[in-house]
A and B are shown apart, each in its own frame.
Chain A
Amino acid sequence: MENKKPDTTINVGDYLVVQRQGYTKLHKLKNHGNLILGSFTVEMDNIIGEKYFDTFQMKNMPGSRRFYILEKVDEVNTATGSLNIEQSGADNRNIPNNAESQGLTKEDIDKLKGEELSSNNIVEQLINNSKTFSMKTEYSQEKYIKKKEKKYFEYIQIRRPSIRLLSQMFYRQDPTKTMGIRIDDLSQILTYANIHPEGNHLLYDSGTSGLMPAAIMNAIGSNTTGSLIHMHPGNECQKNAFVAMQFPQEQSDRCVNVNLYSVLRCFYQSKETFSFKNDSLEKPSDIATKTSETEGSESENRVMETSAVSEDTAEPSAKKPRIEENSQKRQWQLDNEKACRILKNKVDCLIITAKEHPVNIVKELLQFLSGGRSFVVFSLLKEPLQDLYFYLKSRVDIIYIRLSTNFMRNYQVLPDRTHPEVNMNTGGYILTGFKLAY
Chain B
Amino acid sequence: MSFDGYKNVIKEGDTVILYLTITQVYCIKAEPKTVNKKGNFIENVFQTPYGALKCADLIGKHYGSKITLSKGWGYVLQPTPELWTITLPHRTQIIYTPDISMIILQLELCPGSIVIESGTGSGSLSHALIRAVKPHGHLYTFDFHEIRAETARDEFEDHGLTSYVTVNNKDVCESGFGDDLNNKADAVFLDLPHPWLVIPHTIKSIKDTGGRLCSFSPCIEQVQKSCLMLLKLGFQEIQTVEVLQTQYAVQQRSLPLLNLEFLKNEKDGSECEKKERETFKTITSIPPASLPGHTGYLTFATLPPIWARNLQISLNQNDINNVE
Contact = CB atoms under 8 A, between A and B. Distances in A.
Contacts of B147: none
A80 B66 contact: no
Interface stretch (B106-114, B197-205, B259-267): B106-114
Interface in B79-128: 80-82, 97-98, 100-102, 104-106, 108, 110-112, 128
B285 interface: yes
Nearest to A55: B311
A51 B210 CA distance: 12
Nearest to A221: B111
Interface of B: 5-6, 8, 19, 22, 25, 62-66, 75, 77-78, 80-82, 97-98, 100-102, 104-106, 108, 110-112, 128, 131-132, 134-136, 209-210, 220, 223-224, 227-228, 238-248, 250, 252, 283-285, 297, 299, 304-305, 307-308, 310-311, 314-315, 317-319, 321-324
Given A75-B311, A188-B101, A415-B228, A163 B108 contact: yes
A372 B62 contact: yes
Contacts of B315: 76, 78
Interface in A379-438: 382-383, 386-387, 389-390, 399-411, 413-418, 434-438
Nearest to B76: A372
Contacts of B243: 184, 406-408
Contacts of B252: 390
A88 interface: no
A263 B5 CA distance: 27
Contacts of B310: 74
A426 to B, nearest CB: 12
B322 A142 contact: yes
A293 interface: no
A370 B62 CA distance: 11
Nearest to B300: A164
Contact of A406 (B136, B209, B240, B246): B246
Contacts of A167: 105
Contacts of B239: 410
Interface string A208-240: 000000000011111110000000000000000
A377 interface: no
Nearest to A199: B6
B100 A191 contact: yes
A82 B321 CA distance: 10
A282 B208 CA distance: 38
26 contacts: A54-B308, A75-B314, A164-B105, A164-B106, A167-B105, A184-B101, A188-B101, A194-B131, A196-B131, A219-B132, A223-B136, A371-B62, A390-B250, A390-B252, A399-B75, A400-B19, A400-B77, A407-B246, A408-B244, A409-B241, A411-B241, A415-B224, A417-B323, A434-B19, A434-B64, A434-B75
A222 B112 contact: yes
A218 B80 CA distance: 19
Contacts of A142: 322
Given A199-B5, A390-B283, 8 more contacts: A82-B318, A184-B101, A196-B5, A373-B6, A409-B241, A411-B223, A413-B240, A413-B299
Given A53-B210, A81-B321, A371 B64 contact: yes
Contact of A410 (B22, B25, B108, B240): B240
Nearest to A432: B82
A197 interface: yes
B322 A80 contact: yes
A316 to B, nearest CB: 26
Contacts of B64: 370-373, 434-437
A372 B63 contact: yes
Contacts of B63: 371-372, 437
A190 B100 CA distance: 11
B250 A389 contact: yes
A334 B196 CA distance: 55
A65 to B, nearest CB: 28
A196 to B, nearest CB: 6
B246 A386 contact: no
B209 A402 contact: no
A8 B305 contact: yes
Most central of B64, B105, B131, B315 by chain A CB within 10 Å: B105
Contacts of A295: none
Given A183-B102, A190-B105, A191-B100, A403 B285 contact: yes
A438 B80 CA distance: 20
A382 B285 contact: yes
Contacts of B246: 404-407
Given A371-B62, A405-B248, A414 B110 contact: no
A198 B63 CA distance: 18
B97 A191 contact: yes
Contacts of A372: 8, 62-65, 77-78
10 closest A-B pairs (Cβ-Cβ)? A372-B64, A221-B111, A81-B318, A437-B64, A187-B101, A372-B63, A187-B105, A53-B308, A371-B64, A411-B240
A402 B86 CA distance: 14
A434 B77 contact: yes
